[in-house]
Homo-oligomer: A and B are copies of this chain.
Amino acid sequence: MPRHPRKRDFPVAQVRRYLEPGPILLISSRWRGQANVMTLGWHTVLEFAPSLVGLMISAGNHSFRMIRESRECVINLPTTALTDTVVRIGNTTGAEIDKFATFGLTPEEATEVSAPLIRECHASFECRLHDAALVNRYNFFIFQVVKAHVAPTPKRPETLHYTGEGVFMVAGRTISRRAMFRPEILD
């Protein structure tokens, strides 16, 4: 895999291809001139169109206030090529260090939001806050993906799926059962 995947525009209604399998994500944010990035494993797709995703962002994270106040973020998909970087991001805080500089990540300008894309990630989804109804009770943010950038190959890269206890499962091998599906539910 290239160190810097070349991403292209991707349909926002199809981001489930990358999010529904449940990979660990890198959430980037920018607020008052500072950029930050955190790891996130607690997320779900909620709707195809508008393209909605739910993120549970623990209030203990430095990113929490940045995201709540800026009402924006970018969801970035790291592959196994970034395993150690993912762990380091998850074990440090943006209150103490500049994670982009410290971990050699390249911020790139997004199109629709001020939060940066992470060049080294396979995919980046620009998000605007859609519904904050459950933020106070559960730290649960509903975002709309307003712009998606995805490296065309590989179509399904090897991703990290966190189990707790410092252990990730790796998803990469695929099984197709397309022939068994009713055509109307294939999308």
Query: Known: A168-B177, A180-B88, A180-B166. Is A20-B41 also a contact (CB below 8 A)?
Result: yes
Q: Does A64 contact B (CB under 8 A)?
A: no
Q: Does A54 contact B (CB under 8 A)?
A: yes
Interface bits A153-168 vs B (CB < 8 Å: 1, else 0): 0001001111111111
B178 touches A166 (CB 8 A): yes
Q: Does A97 contact B (CB under 8 A)?
A: no
Q: How far is the CB of A185 from chain B (nearest CB, A)?
A: 7
Q: Does A106 contact B (CB under 8 A)?
A: no
B42 touches A164 (CB 8 A): no
Q: Does A14 contact B (CB under 8 A)?
A: yes
A167 touches B163 (CB 8 A): no
Q: How far is the CB of A35 from chain B (nearest CB, A)?
A: 22
Q: Does A1 contact B (CB under 8 A)?
A: no
Q: Does A75 contact B (CB under 8 A)?
A: no
A46 touches B182 (CB 8 A): no
The tally of residues in A whose CB lies under 8 Å from a CB in B reads: 60
Within the assembled complex, what's the spacing in Å between the Cα atoms of A84 and B181?
A: 11
User: Which of B20, B91, B156 lies in contact with A185, CB distance below 8 A?
Assistant: B91
Q: How far is the CB of A186 from chain B (nearest CB, A)?
A: 6
Q: How far is the CB of A60 from chain B (nearest CB, A)?
A: 10
Q: Does A94 contact B (CB under 8 A)?
A: no
Q: Does A114 contact B (CB under 8 A)?
A: no
Q: Does A83 contact B (CB under 8 A)?
A: yes
Q: Which residue on chain B has the smallest CB distance to residue A20? A: B41
- A14-B164, A45-B56, A168-B174 known; 7 other A-B pairs, CB under 8 Å? A17-B163, A20-B42, A46-B56, A160-B175, A161-B171, A167-B177, A170-B171
